[in-house]
Structure 1
Amino acid sequence: MATAESYLKPEVIRNVARLDLRARFIVEGFLSGLHASPFQGFSVEFSEHRRYTQGDDTRNIDWLVYAKTDRYYVKKYQAETNITGYLLMDLSESMAYTYRQDLTKFDYSICLAAALSYLMVHQQDPVGLVTFDEKIQASLPARSKRSQLGNILALLSRAKPAGVTDVARSLRQFAPMIRHKSLIMLFSDLLTDPDPVLDALRMIRFAGHDIIVFHVLDEAEVNFPFDGMCELRDPESGQLMTVDAAGIRGDYLDAMKQLRDRYKTACRTIGADFVELDTSMHFDKALVEYLSQRKARF
């Protein structure tokens, strides 16, 4: 019998067409120990009793009532401050890049988004999805119904990264669509001028929304493992450049570190989370580690 861990291997995930399976194995296999919500703002309070019906969670049975009445009753709870989540997915062509990993940056981001969607829906937190390149391409309003997970996964499975992106413009276009205090989860490689992006993130944060930036890069973009003379192509502009890998490796790595440090420092200043990821990391373990750290802070 296959274990949850076996389904999380990249070579297996690549052949699994149903994203809901990916999400279920990640969440149920690795987040089962996180009993409390990792999202700030979620809590529940006791509402009332009702008769037990087949399919109810037996953990909610009130055994004191059973002892008095010899009947099964379950405790009903209601959410006090459910938080609304929005997944923002970058569709730029650069997100389709992979050097030697089984998952592209886009595939990796989909796995993260699928798991987070599953988690939020099962916590009865509304969650929505927005895909964008130069502007918003598709959006699903936030819902907490179980059917919402299928809607999100269907849209993600149809999405294809292509063309150029404008992260800042898309964030500004999205901002007026948020009607309530929400948790904004951005998935992007952010290979663009950081100033407009950070300005847009500040605007959203100062409007009272929580922000998590998942900065997803390919392993090669982080480590620059190339040797000799190599030809590099900008996937969005098509521009080609022939370089001596050894000669520019140091400058490249310094520039990439500066870019990430810029985003990290700015996000910390405005109270947003900045999560550094690359496609060599097991996305399930990276997600668990981040959510555990976030839960510990609140």
Structure 2
Amino acid sequence: MSLLTPESLQSIQRLDLRARMVVRGFLQGLHSSPFQGFSVQFSEHRRYNRGDDPRLIDWLVYAKTDKYYTKRFEAETNLTGYLVMDLSKSMGFTESGSMTKFEYCTCLAASLTYLMTMQQDPVGLISFDEKMRALLPARSRRGHLGDVMAALTRLKPTGRTDLPASLTQLAAMLKQHSLVMLFSDLLPSDTETGSPEDVISGLARLRHGGNDVIVFHVMDEAEVNFPYDGPVQFEDAESGAMVTVDATGFREDYLKQLDEFREAYRAGCHKLHVDYVPLDTSMPFDKALTEYLLGRQQRL
């Protein structure tokens, strides 16, 4: 079993230790990947583009990767990041008995905080349900990592959610260009205001403000694979409504609707140049971090 799977981290109670283990394992993996030689310094380079000064090409990086990268000046490397956590009650769901969706998102967010702190990038924390809630300003000072970890540990998924309204509020609140990392199952509490189109509209406001955005769409493994047969009773996590269905006959329609749901977000995010990362709670954390790194490299 990979050391970076949710199951392998279950026995580690402290969030900061989980994050440290994930990031260290991830960075060790970079040594045998196409990103060899970058480690935590990958933010100090960007791909060479036609028109760039050839004198800025880093030939040591070229020797390792066979690709052209130019050195970036210190003023270009600083990136302010905000973790945006969904506190809706549906995020507390788990069918496998492993991590809930919220625990998975929290561990991933903590790992990204650890990684960005290593790069001396300021990181802030925002949570939302029906509106924006906790706010921890973005800082890079010593000790801020512990503040973010403590704040993440205190968050609980207990409410309803209005993601489009929260994104609109966030777009108005951010005064400088930032990297917004959204962690959510994207499931609406209100189908009238929480459609993919409504959420994409909120993401568009963030992009219009000059922000980079990564959407980590995290679902439970059972929500993705639907491993049910026969009559099954389901409960809506937020409304408490109960419904009984023939899971065997319903599976094909469910999986089709799920694919359409994800595709709506994938296509909408692509048009906005927003990184869309679909994950489920069985996936190793290095996969999510790799997607983050790929998206970040494309933006540099």
TM-score (normalised: structure 1): 0.81
2:17 equivalent in structure 1: 21
1:65 equivalent in structure 2: none
Distance 1:28 1:13 in 2: 13
CA distance 1:39–1:179, change in 2 (3 Å): farther
Cα displacement (A) at 1:16: 2.0
Distance 2:296 2:76 in 1: 18
Which structure: larger Rg?
1
Asked if 1:115 is matched to 2:111, the reply is yes
1:184 equivalent in structure 2: 180
Cα deviation 1:101-139 (Å, max 9, x = unaligned): 411100100111001000111101111000111111201
Asked if 1:206 is matched to 2:202, the reply is no
Cα displacement (A) at 1:214: 0.2
Distance 1:86 1:248 in 2: 39
1:290 equivalent in structure 2: 291
The aligned runs of 1:193-232 (5 Å cut-off) are 193-232=195-234
Cα deviation 1:10-31 (Å, max 9, x = unaligned): 3452232221111111112212
Q: Of 116, 133, 136, which residue of structure 1 is paired with 2:132?
A: 136
Asked if the contact 2:5–2:283 (Cα under 8 Å) also holds between the matched residues in 1, the reply is no
Amino acid at match of 1:161: P
Distance 2:44 2:176 in 1: 17
Asked if the contact 2:93–2:100 (Cα under 8 Å) also holds between the matched residues in 1, the reply is yes
Asked if 1:263 is matched to 2:265, the reply is yes
Distance 2:209 2:76 in 1: 21
2:143 aligned counterpart, secondary structure:
helix
Amino acid at match of 1:29: G
Asked if 1:96 is matched to 2:92, the reply is yes
CA distance 1:296–1:158, change in 2 (3 Å): closer
1:80 aligned counterpart, secondary structure:
helix
1:103 aligned counterpart, secondary structure:
coil
The aligned runs of 1:47-66 (5 Å cut-off) are none
Cα RMSD (Å): 2.2
For structure 1, list consecutive stretches of 5 or more residues without a partner in the other structure: 45-76
2:253 equivalent in structure 1: 251
Cα displacement (A) at 1:296: 5.1
| Identical amino acids, percent of aligned pairs | 50
Cα deviation 1:250-296 (Å, max 9, x = unaligned): 1110000000000000000010000010011112x212431343355
Asked if the contact 1:38–1:295 (Cα under 8 Å) also holds between the matched residues in 2, the reply is no
Asked if the contact 1:109–1:216 (Cα under 8 Å) also holds between the matched residues in 2, the reply is yes
Amino acid at match of 2:201: D
CA distance 1:152–1:241, change in 2 (3 Å): same
Asked if the contact 2:126–2:133 (Cα under 8 Å) also holds between the matched residues in 1, the reply is yes
Amino acid at match of 2:128: F
CA distance 1:239–1:271, change in 2 (3 Å): same
Asked if the contact 1:38–1:294 (Cα under 8 Å) also holds between the matched residues in 2, the reply is no
Residues matched between the structures, number: 260
CA distance 1:292–1:211, change in 2 (3 Å): closer
For structure 2, list consecutive stretches of 5 or more residues without a partner in the other structure: 46-72, 189-194
